A and B are shown apart, each in its own frame.
Chain A
Amino acid sequence: MQCGYDKELLTRFLHGELSDEERASVEDHLSECAECRREWESYRHMWGVMDSMGVPEPAADTEMRFEAMLDSYKRSLGSSPSGNAGRWSGEQGVRGSGGWAGEHRGGVWARVLEIFRVHPGFAVGYSVLLVVAGLGFGYLLHRPGVQPGLDGNIDAAAGKKDLVELTRQIGEMREMMMKSLLQNPSASERMRGVSYTSEIHTVSKDVTDALLSTLNNDPNMNVRLMTLEALTHYANDPHVREGLVQSITEQASPLVQAALADVMLRLQEKRAIRPFKKLLQQKDLNGMVRTRIEETIFRLS
């Protein structure tokens, strides 16, 4: 048996999509037609079961993922040069003028949080500031040798003494390190040792001796050149000057010989003339070096 009723009305009834009139007519029909009633009942049943169909909870990090996505998107806007910068500043202008005050009544704190959210750089800067402040505070609390309640002048004097002592110790350490580096088999390490001397303000005789010995004996030409350069800084020291003059006859490398000639000229060291003349007597002397030395001798005398 087939009822010719428009069954589409039944589903619309279910969905609450009928007008009052239509609903009345459907109810009338249902009370008369068993076939349509059966169909209607099954729809209603399914409708009810659907109501019990749950949706699992989305994962707990859903919102975090969204925030992260939003942040990275904002950052990508900030870094892209395609005119987005203008939009940004425009938007901030709007915020400052009206929308902001209306919606962020949470006070200063909410505003600070908002700024941090928009500019992650501020948050980083703030963290760094906190760390620095913490370190400074810790230092103030546990300053070595400072007793609370002592007179400030004594504090200052003690601090100065400590500082001098500390500087001296650091200097000693540097010297030691330099000397040990000069003994290193690696040329680059020895060069590093030589470069340390530029950080030592007052050099001891030990240091200059070590450098002079390196200048005369180091197998690597580059190390010798660098040592020569370092030694010229201490050329006011007569001991160093003498060492440099003596070194002239010790050098076999043309580059170092030429460099020494330049240094002597710069220092106007007349004592260098004799060793240079001696050097000129060598038959296998490099042509370039020969002319350089001859020139040096001429200009010194």
Chain B
Amino acid sequence: MLKVRSGDLDKMGLLFQRHNRPLYGFLFHMTQQKEASEDMMQNVFYRMLRSRHTYTGEGEFRTWMYHLARNVLKDHWKQTRRRGTQQNITDYEERIPAGMAADEQIERKLEIKALERALESLSADSREVLVLSRFQEMKYAEIAEVLEISVGAVKVRVYRAMNELRSIYCQPETQNK
């Protein structure tokens, strides 16, 4: 990124190659909207170009990228709120282990759907820490940098989010039993 900053814009392609998938994953987990996530991802890379001079080189590039992504997300939510929520349910293949038996697979799918719904019903803050820690595989310290809060606050937030998720996710199951 420092090379991009000093004017070598072709290095941007390299950054795109390296980071587009994880970034897209983050945006998708946060919104569950395929097209919107694609647009937002392009937007993040555009902002990277435009505001490349603000990248100081201190701290991880990834942290900076997620800062930009969070801003793009905020704008996205502002817009969708103004336009009214538009849900587009995206159908896609979950990563279910291939060796599973058919009924196990179906059960897994149901579990995934239930957990997805539970994740969606979390507040954006709670969902964010879970997405960052679980899907983006970030350490608490990095999450703290991205969210600009202390590591202690991250610990609390993650625990609260997991607890919240558990109460939503496990409730229908216990009722069914």
Q: Are A46 and B95 in contact (CB under 8 A)?
A: no
Q: Which of A12, A59, A63 has a CB less than 8 Å from the CB of B155?
A: A12
Q: Which of A15, A56, A59, A77 has a CB less than 8 Å from the CB of B158?
A: A15
A-B pair number, CB within 8 angstroms = 119
Q: Are A49 and B111 in contact (CB under 8 A)?
A: yes
Q: Are A58 and B7 in contact (CB under 8 A)?
A: no
Interface size of A by CB at 8 A reads 44
Taking chain B's interface residues, is the majority helix, strand, or loop, or is none over half, making it mixed?
Answer: helix
Give the distance in Å from the alpha carbon of A274 to the alpha carbon of B6 in the complex: 86
Q: Are A11 and B158 in contact (CB under 8 A)?
A: yes
B177 on interface, CB distance cutoff 8 Å: no
Q: Which of A8, A42, A63 has a CB less than 8 Å from the CB of B16?
A: A63
Q: Are A17 and B139 in contact (CB under 8 A)?
A: yes
| Chain B residues whose C-beta falls within 8 Å of the C-beta of A49 in the assembled complex | 108, 111-112, 115
B166 on interface, CB distance cutoff 8 Å: yes
Q: Are B20 and A62 in contact (CB under 8 A)?
A: yes
A270 on interface, CB distance cutoff 8 Å: no
Q: Are A73 and B46 in contact (CB under 8 A)?
A: yes
A50-75, CB < 8 A from B: 50-59, 62-63, 65-67, 69-70, 73-74
A101: min CB distance to chain B, Å:
15
| Chain B residues whose C-beta falls within 8 Å of the C-beta of A51 in the assembled complex | 95
Q: Are B20 and A66 in contact (CB under 8 A)?
A: yes
| Chain A residues whose C-beta falls within 8 Å of the C-beta of B162 in the assembled complex | 11, 14, 43, 46
Q: Are B7 and A88 in contact (CB under 8 A)?
A: yes
Q: Are B159 and A56 in contact (CB under 8 A)?
A: no
| Chain A residues whose C-beta falls within 8 Å of the C-beta of B93 in the assembled complex | 54, 56
Q: Which of A43, A53, A70 has a CB less than 8 Å from the CB of B13?
A: A70
Q: Are B38 and A59 in contact (CB under 8 A)?
A: yes
B118-177, CB < 8 A from A: 130, 133-135, 139-140, 155-156, 158-159, 162-163, 165-166, 169-170
16 sample A-B contacts, Cβ–Cβ < 8 Å, listed by A number? A12-B158, A15-B158, A46-B162, A47-B134, A49-B111, A49-B115, A52-B112, A53-B94, A54-B92, A55-B28, A56-B28, A56-B92, A58-B34, A62-B42, A66-B16, A69-B42
User: Closest 10 A-B residue pairs measured CB to CB?
Assistant: A56-B92, A91-B7, A8-B159, A54-B95, A55-B25, A11-B159, A54-B94, A11-B162, A49-B115, A87-B7
